[in-house]
Amino acid sequence: MDLINVDSVSDVNELEKLIASRKPGFCLPQPFYTDPGIFDLDLQKVWMRYWLYAGHTSQLPEQDSYFLFRLRAESVVVLRDENGEVRAHANVCTHRGSCILTEPSGRAKNLVCPYHQWVFRRDGSLRAAKLAESAMDPRRSGLVPDPGKAFDASLYGLKSVHCRVLEGFIFLCFAPDPPSFDRLVDIYKPHLEMYKIADTKIAFSKTYRVASNWKLIGENARECYHCGVGHPEYCRVIPGSNLLYSMEPFERLRDKKLEEWAAKGIPTYGVNFEDANDWVYCLRYPYSEGFVTESLDGEQVAPLLGHRQDPDVGVFSIVQYPDFWLDVNPDHLTHFVLRPVSATETDVEMTWLVRKDAVEGKDYEVDKVIAVWRTTGEQDWRLCADNQLGVNSRYYQPGPHTPVEAGPEQFDSWYINELLKP
Ligand code: FES
Ligand SMILES: [Fe+2]
């Protein structure tokens, strides 16, 4: 497949033809999963416009801690400023553009560029530019950006990236005018408050390089057509996930539990994907009888989050396009973060959080905490890589979404919708 260069008019026409060739009710034409030009377009039209999950506040334990968020060409320093507020700055020196911090995480009182040692404060402002103040003195040289004017450090602060924190989760957005974050707060906060997620820590995290376009992984996460055969462990934990069986018993159990939870004052509302404009989804639902969490045997695997006494709150799930999935259990939570690498590769980070004061080996065993989702995730990554192999073939043609694939259908329609936006 030829690379589609969307910068040229003729190729814009080609892109329009390609978009028009996507039949509603069917998965996407091949170039959307394989073409490097389309992949670049995805970055511009989707990834540079949405809120993206960056990390958790427990990754900034000290006043001078930082970590880097990386997505293709972009590197962003996430840190706390002098007032303790979480901030995000482009990791790009305002002198001649060097990357400033190179270690993925660490501590830095100031941000010092390794090239000519310009020093930036944690709020991004330029604190000192070695030699610049005197070297750019108009009496000494004509080789200055604006001869006649003294060097003005206030013009050379680091570029900031929008950054918001919600219940310990740090999100950032590259768009000049991001989508409403307050809407996310309204949706998530009532559900998440009781778990005190800001008081958790990472029990385990692993990044998988999956040989799959990010949209194949997105589609996979939006349906359980494959669960009955593909995820036996998950199906034991979550009723209704094995579509080979009738939904009726699950629906009865769900309705009963929702009533019980509402009576206990636990939020039970969900947010559904209604149409192609929706990019956030959340739902609370029960475990199978005898399960209190997502563990292989259904037993609790870590101390209850938020110092709750009653584990019976079911599982609360979030799906947030384009990059974030979350399952909150009463005793631990698991999240998935996508980072597109190329048209046919995606990094998937899986992270498990437990209460901050829980002691490994005493209060929890990592293997037990991660068992269900490590197994299920690895099954998915394999399915997605196999999916990509078939999609790469000359014999691939977009097949129909079945009635139980309303999820991938909505996801694909949302994606096409994003490409059509100016
Ligand atoms: S490029 Fe950073 S100080 Fe020169
Ligand atoms: Fe799956």
CA of 387 to the centre of ligand 2 (A): 12
- At residue 4 the predicted structure's pLDDT band, cuts being 50, 70 and 90, is low
**pLDDT value of residue 1:** 45
How far apart are the CA of 220 and the centre of ligand 2, in A? 6
Same fold, 52-163 and 182-420: no
Domain boundaries, the chain: 52-163, 182-420
Provide mean pLDDT across the span 283-292: 95
Order of strands across the sheet that contains 111-112: 111-112, 119-120, 126-128
380 Cα to the center of ligand 2, angstroms = 5
Q: Write down the pLDDT at residue 135.
A: 54
Q: Judge whether 325 and 363 are in contact, CB under 8 Å.
A: no
Structure confidence at residue 77 (pLDDT): 98
H/E stretch holding 52: strand 52-56
Q: Report pLDDT digits (tens) over 91-117.
A: 999 999 999 999 999 999 999 999 999
For residues 261 and 284, is the Cβ–Cβ distance under 8 A?
yes
Residues with CB under 6 A from ligand 1: 93, 95-98, 113, 115-116, 118
Please state the CATH superfamily assignment of the domain spanning residues 52-163 in this structure. Answer: Rieske [2Fe-2S] iron-sulphur domain (2.102.10.10)
Helices (H), 225-365: 227-230, 232-237, 248-263
**For atom 4 of ligand 1, which residue has the closest CA?**
116
- Over residues 221-233, the mean pLDDT reads 95
Q: Quick check: bond before 322 cis, omega within 30?
A: yes
The string of DSSP codes covering 120-189 is: E-TTS-EEE-TTHHHHT-TTT-S-SSSTTS---GGGGPPPB-EEEEETTEEEEE-SSSPPPHHHHHHHHH
Give the number of the atom of ligand 1 that is nearest the alpha carbon of residue 98.
1
Give yes or no for residue 217 having a pLDDT over 70: yes
pLDDT tens-digit map of 57-72: 999 999 999 999 999 9
Question: Counting ligands in written order, which one lies closest to the CA of residue 93?
Answer: 1
Contact 32, 215 (CB under 8 A): yes
Query: Residue 319: phi, psi to the nearest 5?
Result: -125, 125
More confident residue, 281 or 14: 281
40 band by pLDDT with thresholds 50, 70 and 90: very high
Residue 80, pLDDT score: 95
- Band of residue 148 on the pLDDT scale cut at 50, 70, 90: low
CATH superfamily of 182-420: Naphthalene 1,2-dioxygenase Alpha Subunit; Chain A, domain 1 (3.90.380.10)
CB 103 within 8 A of CB 114: no
d(CA 330, CA 304): 6
Mean pLDDT of 362-386: 98
- Rounded to 5 degrees, φ, ψ at 386 are -65, -40
Q: How far is the CA of 62 from the centre of ligand 1 (A)?
A: 26
pLDDT tens figures, 375-399: 999 999 999 999 999 999 999 999 9
Confidence of residue 143 (pLDDT cuts 50, 70, 90): very low
Whose Cα sits closest to atom 1 in ligand 1?
96
Determine the atom of ligand 1 nearest the C-alpha atom of 116: 3
**Across the chain, how many H-helices and E-strands are there?**
11, 16
Q: What is the mean pLDDT of residues 134-144?
A: 51
Q: How confident is the model at residue 247 (pLDDT cuts 50, 70, 90)?
A: confident
